[in-house]
Every structure is written in C-alpha cells, then in structure tokens.
Homo-oligomer: A and B are copies of this chain.
Amino acid sequence: MGSEYRYRQLEAWLIEGIQKKRWGKGDRLPSIRSLCETKALSKATVLHAYQRLEASGLIEARPKSGYFVCGSRIERPLPESRPPISAPLPVSVSDVVMDVMARGAAFDLLPERHQREENSHAVQLLNRHIGRALRSQRGAAHQYYDGPAGHIELRALIAQRYRRLSCELTTEDLCITAGCQQALFLALMATCQIGDTVAVESPGFYGVFQLLEQLGLKALEIPSSAVDGLQTQVLAEALTRWKIKACVVTPAFATPCGATLTHSAREELIHLANTYDFAVIEDDIYGDLGFFVRPEPLKALDTEDRVILCSSLSKNLSRDIRIGWIAAARWHDKVKHLKLVTMLASSRFVQQGVVSFFKDGAYDAHLRKQREVLRYNCDQLVNYLNEQWPSDIKLSVPEGGLALWLQLPDHLNTLAHYNEALREGMVITPGALFSAADNYHHCIRLSFAHPITQAREAALFRLGEIFFMK
C-alpha cells in the first residue's frame, strides 16, 4: 500500500530527527500543514504518523500549538488579539518607533553589542559580488540614472522565483524599491487618498501604522490570531459596515506573532477583495523565512489583478543594501511613476551585485542555512522564556519569521518601561506600537533574529526583573 509506506517513511524520518537531536526535548515539530507541503503528503498521512508517535510517548500534542518532543518545554496559552472590533481610527503613533529605528534596533534587544558578531558568510559573499559589480561597471554608468522600474535582470530573477511559487509574474510586473517599507508606501499612495480607510492586522506591523498616520489614512483593525493571522470572518463582518480601499496583510509569518494564513482564509480574503473592490497589499517580507516550508504568496490566488505583492531582502539577507520590490498589479504604472517622482531611481551597481549573488546560487544556500539558524534561535528563546519568565505569560511560537509575541499580565505596560530598559542598553519593542488603539500595552515583541548569547540571556533576565519584580 502506497499510503502505508508513506506514513511509515515519515515516522522513521521524524524518529531519526529526534534521535539525532534535530529536534530536542520540548522542541516543536513541523506543523501538519508544512509537512503536507514539504513532503507532498496528505493531511491524513501526516496525522497518522504523528498519532502513532504520540501513542508511543515520544511526542505530545498540545492544543493549538502542534506536536512537541516530550520533555521539558512548558505548554503556554496563546496571546489574544483584542476584540471587539472598533470603528476605523486615525493613527497616531508614539515617538518610540523613531527612537527604536534611530538605534537601528528593531530586531535586537542589545544593539550596542552587535559589533562583536561576525558577518555571515553569505553577507561577505554579497559584499564581494557588489564590490565586483562596482569595479566592472562599464562606461560612464555613474552619469546615468537607473530606469524607474529597476535593473531588468534582477526583476527577471525575482519574477522567476515567484513563478516557482505559483505566482504568474514576469519581469515587466515588478518594480525595484528601496526596501519593503518603500514598497508598502508606494502601494498605499497608489491605492488610497487622504481620509480613506485601510484594513490592517491587529496586532500588526508598526511600519504600516506609521504610514497610515503620515498619509492621513484611517486604520480598521481586524483581529489577527497568533497562529492563523487575519480573521477573515471578522473582516467580512466589518465590510458590511465600513468601506475600505485596501487591506494590508502579511500572509506568512506576520510580525509580531509569526502567524500564517490558512488556505481557506486566503481564498476568503481574495473573495472579499473581489466582492468589495479593494486592493490587497501583501507584505511577503518573511515568506522566505519559514523554518519548515516556504508558503506560496497570496498573490498566487489573485484572480482580478488586485493583489499588490511587496517584499525585500532586508530581513533575510541585508538591511543595508536597501533592495526591495513591488508587483503592483493593476496599479503598476502608477507605482512606477510614484517611485520616479519620489526618488528617481535605485542604485544600479547594488542591483547588479545582487544579481550575480543570486546567479551564483548563494541566496538559496544562504536561505537554507538561515532557516535552520532561526529555528534554533527561536527554540532557544522559547526555552529561556519558559524556564525563566513567570508561567502566566502567553506566547506565540511561530514557524518562521524573526520574532515572537508575548502577552504579559494585564496590569503591565511595556511602553512605560521603555526608557528604563534603554538606560541599561536594551531596546525593546513594546506592544503599543502594534496597534492604533490602546490594545496591546501589556504585550511585547521579542526577536530571535540574533543568537541568544550570554549577554542577550542576561538582558532577558534583567528585562524579566524590570517587568515582574516591581
């Protein structure tokens, strides 16, 4: 029997992984969904293998969290998003975001220490490719602006990558930007006008709230679960009451929780966009950072040319090269024009360097390694929090991305501790940044982008003291 053979094969592979410490005690195993995708198995087959291992006592199931290697890890309840839904709000974000960014610290608790960490091999390689692109520039290239859409070869390579993920994109559909934030900015500029309402995840990315504030747009906050992301049924209900122009959504490993939209939620979202005629602005920046699987972008399901795909290399390769992109669907010409008008062009030599880095196969090799590192860092962080922080906190355990989300006891206000932490060299990302309403004052985003060194462990310990010893 083919299917019997398959679940036994999977079972053997999982046991081997546990024996070889690929997953240690208390570690979370790949989700059913991700195993279905990576191993091309049916849900029944994966479930069957997991249930057999559970029966054997090697692993345990935890409701809403998945399967875990039996051992020390403590089960935690998930953080909540905050219903009930409220009317669209004008956005006013605190100066803390400016301060966090000015310290270059959105993903590191201890930015002052970063000098000691080495550049990764991939970044050294990237630097060499960019350096070579600079040296081999022919002719008076510095005297000419790059075209508004960006380097044609880079766009071709990016389109090719998306085609492998079932997105029908060509070179002509893409425009290179100075990172994903600029892509989101261009998408909102192209689709909305001052006073319009935009649906966003709650909790959601503070960069989007900042954009809404600066562009004079209103935020309609749709609760987003720590596991499945944007609650499309709530959006559906809200759409009967409010008119929106766009919905900004991160379908894969959304910050701050690391949630990923289910397939049916994706279909529902596309259906709603078609029915209520709004743009879907897809932030795919964490898409390549799945520990177990690279989800297909929402764009793959776009039927009416209304999903605007935004992403960049900032989170998975380099924040310093400022290379992102946008596939703006029916708004492509408008976006290209807006890019021209707001910054003329991108750096050609950097794009050329990225092209040769890609062609070298270096990017995929880097991603494979990076995913392993992040999964390891994530588990380290979760283990630390489980062992050292109070047991009544709630936390998300993502399957990708760079951060997890903690819900602390309700009386705590993490924002109020920002300056205190700062005086001790720690830059935290308080929950208040992730909403236009006052919904997450007792939450905090913690990143595992950097290894949990002794210094960072000490910082986490100190942060625990600040929060819980008062």
Residue positions of A touching B, CB distance < 8 A = 97-98, 101-108, 111, 114-120, 123, 126-127, 130-131, 134-135, 137-149, 178-179, 181-182, 185, 189, 193-194, 207, 210-211, 213-214, 314, 317-322, 336-338, 340-350, 449-450
Contacts and interface: CB of A to CB of B under 8 A. Distances in A.
A174 to B, nearest CB: 14
B98 A336 contact: yes
Contact of A185 (B108, B317, B343): B343
Q: How many copies does the complex hold?
A: 2
Given A102-B149, A185-B342, A337-B98, A139 B118 contact: yes
Contact of A319 (B139, B214, B345): B345
Given A119-B140, A213-B341, A350-B350, 20 more contacts: A98-B148, A101-B147, A103-B147, A108-B143, A114-B144, A117-B140, A127-B349, A130-B134, A143-B318, A143-B319, A179-B343, A179-B344, A181-B341, A181-B343, A182-B342, A182-B344, A185-B343, A211-B341, A214-B338, A214-B342
A144 B181 contact: no
Given A140-B118, A148-B98, A450-B143, A322 B336 contact: no
A140 B114 contact: yes
A145 B106 contact: yes
A56 to B, nearest CB: 41
Given A147-B101, A210-B340, A347-B347, A142 B123 contact: yes
Given A107-B143, A343-B182, A127 B118 contact: no
Nearest to A344: B181
A451 to B, nearest CB: 10
B104 A342 contact: no
B142 A104 contact: no
Contacts of A116: 139
Contacts of A194: 193-194
Contacts of A321: 142, 347
Contacts of A346: 322
Contacts of A318: 142-143
Nearest to A129: B134
Nearest to A312: B344
B178 A320 contact: no
A111 B145 CA distance: 11
Nearest to A132: B131
A317 B105 CA distance: 32
A341 B147 contact: no
13 contacts: A98-B340, A104-B147, A111-B144, A114-B140, A119-B137, A119-B140, A131-B135, A142-B318, A142-B320, A144-B320, A181-B342, A210-B341, A314-B344
The 6 closest A-B pairs by CB, nearest first: A142-B318, A104-B144, A115-B139, A131-B131, A117-B140, A127-B134
Nearest to A136: B127
Contacts of A104: 144-147
A126 to B, nearest CB: 8
A45 B64 CA distance: 88
A343 B211 CA distance: 10
Given A320-B347, A345-B319, A148 B185 contact: no
A139 B127 contact: no
A336 B97 CA distance: 12
Contacts of A348: 320
A210 B210 CA distance: 25
A139 B111 contact: no
A142 B319 contact: yes
Contacts of A108: 143-144
B142 A340 contact: no
A322 to B, nearest CB: 5
Contacts of A147: 101-104
A340 B144 contact: no
A344 B101 contact: yes
Nearest to A208: B341
Nearest to A190: B214
